[in-house]
């Protein structure tokens, strides 16, 4: 990368090769966001004269790569997806590296993979088209057979395949380490390395706090009874396999034994409840139709789902200032403490999204929280 960034500087480079990097200084209305398991966004404006000084014409920009780095909020990298101009001002919109997976079709293989293994394979196959490479995968939990979640040729990696991976992982393994921290994926903004983690992020809740009266310029939370499920009823097909030993007498009257194997597919029901939640909020059932490899897997999935759905996680949005170097202390996926004293609640939040407004000097932080 070139020399240190100014707060509103961006660098534009060739796609895939990342060559011919050119700095544009002092853009205006610069806004940048980072989000776990989704593409982040960047938008800015600059005079046409500044663009030309950097050696670009407006129609050169689409699909170019763009780099930005904030000294506290951190680096951002992605691809320019939209350019417009009006009265001598050029507006640039970009999405982070994950957007390179949009429009890239999955390729089905005859081999048998777990779902996470298949995710690695798809990212690796797409690398020549996207510039994104496979990194560390901490899958944890139980992997899922691809046969349970078919991967069809032509499925869009970003729009369809990645959401399917997260949906199936949630159903089979549950998704909240420490009661909050979610599994998820991310593409490193500098190295373009794709990583998947069953408990993404770090727990900084004892060290980092977003506090009204110190960091927070605005804070809000929500609480909705419709988000609570304390009785999960799963129904679907499962495979069964068991052996049975039968006794019989042969033609001479001697007692003999034989083993008979039974296998097939049958309908199975699994119900899991959280009695403490039912006592507080009333019975709130979620019926789910989903096939599972076997009855044990379905029973475990029901328990996993009710374990996190029965505990209310409230959406929290906080606008913060960079007081005491706050912005450098956490990233999306991390756990932080929150003190929304103006609304009478405190707790821990899993950060899902950060949105920086460079000109205003504020960052909007949102996620899910356990509040008290």
For residue range 284-293, list pLDDT tens digits in order.
Answer: 998 988 888 8
What are the start-end ranges of the H helices in the chain? Answer: 48-53, 115-130, 162-173, 275-281, 295-309
Q: Nearest-5° angle of CA 8, CA 11, CA 16?
A: 145
Please state the rounded mean pLDDT for residues 92-97. Answer: 98
Q: Considering the chain, what percentage of its residues have pLDDT values greater than 90?
A: 65
The rounded distance, in Å, linking the Cα atoms of 42 and 372 is 35
Residue 350 predicted with pLDDT over 70: yes
pLDDT of residue 108: 74
Q: Which pTM value belongs to this model?
A: 0.85
Q: Where are the domains of the chain?
A: 10-100, 102-197, 209-223+313-371, 227-309
| E-only strand ranges, 58-172 | 65-70, 74-86, 89-96, 133-138
Residue 79 and residue 66 in contact, taking contact as beta carbons nearer than 8 Å: yes
Greatest alpha-carbon pair distance for the chain in Å reads 104
Residue 317 predicted with pLDDT over 70: yes
3-state helix, strand, coil in the chain (%, to 5): 25, 45, 35
């Amino acid at each position: 990368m070139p020399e240190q960034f100014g707060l509103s500087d961006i660098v534009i480079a060739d796609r895939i090769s990342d060559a011919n990097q050119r700095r544009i200084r002092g853009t205006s209305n610069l806004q940048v966001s980072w989000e776990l398991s989704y593409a982040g966004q960047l938008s800015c404006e600059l005079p046409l004269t500044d663009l030309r000084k950097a050696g670009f014409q407006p129609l050169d920009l689409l699909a170019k790569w763009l780099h930005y780095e904030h000294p506290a909020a951190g680096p951002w990298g992605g691809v320019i997806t939209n350019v417009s101009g009006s009265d001598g001002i050029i507006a640039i919109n970009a999405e982070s590296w994950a957007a390179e997976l949009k429009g890239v079709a999955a390729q089905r293989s005859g081999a048998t993979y777990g779902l996470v293994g298949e995710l690695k394979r798809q990212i690796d196959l797409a690398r020549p088209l996207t510039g994104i490479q496979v990194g560390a995968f901490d899958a944890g939990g139980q992997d899922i057979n691809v046969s349970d979640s078919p991967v069809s040729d032509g499925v869009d990696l970003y729009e369809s395949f990645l959401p399917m991976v997260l949906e199936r992982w949630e159903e089979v393994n549950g998704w909240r380490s420490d009661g909050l921290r979610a599994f998820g994926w991310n593409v490193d903004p500098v190295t373009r390395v794709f990583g998947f983690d069953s408990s993404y992020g770090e727990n900084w809740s004892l060290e980092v706090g977003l506090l009204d009266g110190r960091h927070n310029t605005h804070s809000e939370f929500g609480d909705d009874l419709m988000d609570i499920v304390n009785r999960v009823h799963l129904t679907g097909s499962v495979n069964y396999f068991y052996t049975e030993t039968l006794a019989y007498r042969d033609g001479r009257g001697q007692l003999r034994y034989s083993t008979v194997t039974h296998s097939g597919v049958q309908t199975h029901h699994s119900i899991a409840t959280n009695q403490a939640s039912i006592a507080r909020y009333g019975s709130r059932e979620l019926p789910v139709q989903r096939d599972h490899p076997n009855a044990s897997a379905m029973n475990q999935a029901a328990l996993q789902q009710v374990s996190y759905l029965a505990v209310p996680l409230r959406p929290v949005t906080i606008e913060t200032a960079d007081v005491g170097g706050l912005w450098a202390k956490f990233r999306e996926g991390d756990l932080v403490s929150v003190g929304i004293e103006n609304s009478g609640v405190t707790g821990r939040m899993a950060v899902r999204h950060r949105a920086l407004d460079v000109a205003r000097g504020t960052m909007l932080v949102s996620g899910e929280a356990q509040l008290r």
